[in-house]
Structures are given as structure tokens and as C-alpha cells.
């Protein structure tokens, strides 16, 4: 059974992380765009054939760093998304339990 206190914790978490979730999602998009931009800049300033420049842009240190930054932001965002889903599920379970009590099912 989900207690009233646990429900309040869930609702409080959900209410307090709306902006954080949006900011983290935006950060993921921003870092993904930066990663693509760095890759394009390495490609444009590279030498050799098209395939050689593509390879240079994929394996460059700058692109590796930008990719790592993007993946870190993605992980941070997903942690918050998953925690919010868990808290939302707790509120749904509470609602179901409350409905069952009212109906005499529990």
C-alpha cells in the first residue's frame, strides 16, 4: 500500500522537477547540435578524399569530447525522466488503491 506521505513525496518531486527535466532535455539537444557542428567543422577543415575527411571528422579528439559531453547530458536527462516516471507510477498505484478501498475491494 502506498501511504499518504509517500504520495506527497511523489507529487512534490514531480512538481519540483518540471523545469529541471525541461532544462536537461534542452541540454541534451544543445550538446547534440554542438557535437554535429564540431564534426562538420573537422570535416570542412580536413584534407584528402571525401571518405578520408569523413573518417577524420568521426575519430577526431574534438568530436570524441563533444560526443562524451552529449552522452553525459543524455544520461543525466534519462535519470530524471526515469525517476519522474517512477514517481508518476506511484501516484497511479495510489489512485488505484484508493479506488479499490472505496469500492470495498481492499
* pLDDT digit string, tens, across residues 47-93: 999 999 999 999 999 999 999 999 999 999 999 999 999 999 999 99
Q: How many helices, marked H, and strands, marked E, lie in the chain?
A: 4, 0
Is the pTM of the predicted complex or chain greater than 0.95? no
Cα diameter, the chain: 76
Angstrom CA distances, 29 to 3, 23, 56, 66, 85, stand at 38, 10, 24, 12, 21
Burial of 37 (0-12, 13-18, 19+ CB in 10 A): exposed
In the numeric block, which cell numbers belong to residue 16? Answer: 519540483
Amino acid at each position: 500500500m502506498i501511504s499518504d506521505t509517500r504520495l506527497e513525496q511523489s507529487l512534490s518531486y514531480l512538481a519540483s522537477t518540471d523545469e529541471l527535466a525541461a532544462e536537461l532535455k534542452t541540454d541534451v539537444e544543445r550538446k547534440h547540435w554542438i557535437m554535429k557542428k564540431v564534426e562538420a567543422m573537422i570535416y570542412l577543415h580536413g584534407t584528402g578524399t571525401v571518405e578520408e575527411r569523413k573518417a577524420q571528422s568521426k575519430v577526431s579528439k574534438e568530436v570524441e569530447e563533444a560526443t562524451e559531453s552529449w552522452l553525459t547530458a543524455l544520461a543525466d536527462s534519462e535519470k530524471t525522466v526515469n525517476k519522474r516516471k517512477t514517481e508518476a507510477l506511484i501516484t497511479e498505484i495510489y489512485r488505484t488503491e484508493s479506488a479499490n478501498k472505496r469500492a470495498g475491494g481492499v
